Amino acid sequence: MARRREFDEDQLIAQATQVFWSRGYAATSLQEIARRSGVGTSSIYAAYGNKWALFLVAFERYCADRVALVRAAVSDGGSRRDVATRFLTAIAEDCAGQPDRRGCLMLNSLGELGSEHPEIRMIASRTNAAMEQAVRSRLPRGKSYDDTDASSLAATLVAFSQGLIAVSRLGADDERLHRMAALAGSAVAA
């Protein structure tokens, strides 16, 4: 019979995510996660086996949260311009709210781990596709604008959002991020 966990798993994963996001996988120790979360390293090992398994749980949850952020941003639909502007503004606001402009755990991890760990590429690819689908599903179609166009626009918007994240990580101020989001959103035909 499996032992009952004696800690708040959601709290542990939230703290682990913050440490991995700020420091990267290689520079993160389970001791640092234990210190931040208040969960002993022996409990973490008993629950996850190793740092990699804990990281994968945190990474999957982070990626699911990113998809949820995108879905919430575009949930009201509207014109293509409305959808694009709300989506990119949500990304700019999220970037502005991150301490130390640490970027995106998904993109950071893809750069750090993607070449050696195909599961990271697979999770990131699945997440990217889900974000594109969330945007695509809210873009209106018309006689001159079909599903192929919607797919291309959604992919372009998601790629641009990742560029906003990179610009934020380089230190762009909040005003610049919001101007970039607004300009890109308004460039999308209504």
Per-residue tens of pLDDT for the chain, all 190 residues: 455 567 899 999 999 999 999 999 999 999 999 999 999 999 999 999 999 999 999 999 999 999 999 999 999 989 999 999 999 999 999 999 987 889 999 999 999 999 999 999 999 999 999 999 999 999 987 766 667 788 999 999 999 999 999 999 999 999 999 999 999 998 886 5
Q: Where are the alpha helices (DSSP H) in the chain?
A: 9-23, 30-37, 41-48, 51-74, 80-96, 105-113, 118-138, 147-169, 174-187
pLDDT in tens, 18-68: 999 999 999 999 999 999 999 999 999 999 999 999 999 999 999 999 999
CA–CA gap between residue 119 and residue 117 (Å, rounded): 5
Dihedral sign, CA of 171, 17, 97, 67? positive
Report domain 59-187's class: mainly alpha
What's the pTM? 0.92
Phi and psi of 108, rounded to 5°? -60, -45
Cα dist. 65→14, 100, 126, 135 in Å? Answer: 11, 20, 13, 15
